[in-house]
């Protein structure tokens, strides 16, 4: 007989998925001062702070 997930586990998963929607992966192109080539910086940032990260 297979085990079933408890209701508490399902509620925690719903809360976690709702919280996860507030985070965004941002990829920023940064130019190297030595070679002039671009490198890419990746970060996972809260959606309210994306403009601050890009503006740096």
pLDDT tens readout for residues 30-51: 999 999 999 999 999 999 999 9
**Measured distance CA(14)–CA(10) in Å, rounded:** 6
Between the two ends of the chain, the Cα-to-Cα distance in Å is: 56
pLDDT of residue 12: 66
**Measured distance CA(53)–CA(30) in Å, rounded:** 12
pLDDT of residue 30: 93
Nearest to residue 11, comparing CAs of 1, 3, 19?
19
Per-residue pLDDT band at 3 (split at 50, 70, 90): low
- Kindly tell me if the per-residue pLDDT of 10 is higher than 80: no
Partner residues linked to 30 by β-bridges? 39
**Measured distance CA(31)–CA(41) in Å, rounded:** 10
């Amino acid at each position: 007989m297979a085990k079933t997930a408890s209701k508490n586990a399902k509620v925690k998963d719903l809360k976690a998925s709702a919280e996860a929607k507030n985070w965004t992966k941002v990829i920023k192109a940064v130019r190297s001062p030595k070679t002039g080539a671009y490198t890419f910086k990746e970060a996972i940032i809260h959606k309210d702070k994306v403009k601050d990260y890009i503006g740096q």
